[in-house]
């Protein structure tokens, strides 16, 4: 599965670079939305097919929230450590990491503070999503399902959800959606908080 994902990604990059006319660019966003909606529709069918999914989730209860909270804390601490290594203010690293893969929002929030940090936030969160797409199958197989969900960050509710569903099970797919939703809601709260701490 990982090899297929990498090959499709490379094929997309090469197609966009060498073959697409500039007049086609405005349509790509619409096609992306349609493709994502179609993927999520089939994910929903897969979840709905498993009648025991929601019973298992009920048993998990409050533990479900631990997945996004743990992922958020781990990501922010990691961002602060990287910032310290590169001689940046640690809260800059925290603000970038708190984007959780939402590369279209986090840079916009950070931009008034610093255009440079906004660019770093954009690239960091784009690469987070790309690496998640590539490595989720490996993590799900070799480490654990919830760890694979954590890799997705905010994208676990949309972009990386089909990959998580494909490599885990129906129960984890629902946890993934909820985790992604919670982390998505965290982004517009946490990023401004960390920026405000920079003075």
Residues 14-26 have pLDDT tens digits of: 887 888 887 877 7
Q: What is the pLDDT of residues 156-173, one digit of tens each?
A: 988 899 999 999 988 888
For 30, what's the count of Cα atoms within 13 Å in the CB-facing half-sphere?
4
3 state DSSP class of 165: helix
Domain count, the chain: 1
Q: Report pTM.
A: 0.77
User: What is the span of the domain harbouring residue 28?
Assistant: 2-196
Burial class from Cβ neighbours inside 10 Å (0-12, 13-18, 19+) for residue 161 reads buried
User: What is the CA angle 25-128-54, rounded to 5?
Assistant: 100
Instruction: Give the pLDDT mean for 34-46.
Output: 73
- Compute the distance between CA of residue 92 and CA of residue 103 in angstroms, rounded to an integer: 16
**pLDDT band of 7, cuts 50, 70, 90:** confident
Q: What is the pLDDT of residues 81-96, one digit of tens each?
A: 999 999 999 999 999 9
- Compute the distance between CA of residue 45 and CA of residue 41 in angstroms, rounded to an integer: 6
Instruction: Give the pLDDT mean for 19-45.
Output: 75
- Compute the distance between CA of residue 151 and CA of residue 148 in angstroms, rounded to an integer: 5
């Amino acid at each position: 599965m990982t090899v297929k994902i990498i090959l499709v990604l490379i094929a997309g990059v090469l197609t966009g670079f060498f073959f697409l006319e500039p007049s086609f660019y405005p349509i790509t966003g619409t096609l992306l939305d349609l493709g994502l909606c179609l993927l999520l529709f089939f994910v929903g069918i897969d979840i709905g097919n498993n009648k025991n999914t929601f019973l298992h989730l009920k048993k998990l209860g409050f533990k479900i929230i631990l997945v996004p909270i743990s992922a958020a804390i781990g990501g922010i601490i990691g961002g602060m450590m990287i910032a310290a290594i590169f001689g940046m203010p640690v809260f800059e690293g925290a603000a970038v990491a708190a984007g959780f893969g939402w590369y279209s929002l986090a840079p916009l929030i950070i931009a008034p503070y610093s255009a440079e940090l906004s660019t770093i936030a954009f690239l960091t969160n784009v690469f987070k999503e790309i690496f998640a797409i590539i490595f989720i199958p490996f993590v799900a197989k070799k480490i654990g399902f919830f760890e694979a969900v954590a890799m997705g960050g905010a994208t676990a509710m949309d972009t990386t959800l089909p990959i998580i569903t494909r490599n885990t099970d129906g129960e984890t797919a629902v946890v993934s959606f909820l985790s992604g939703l919670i982390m998505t809601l965290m982004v517009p709260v946490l990023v401004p908080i960390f920026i405000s701490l920079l003075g």
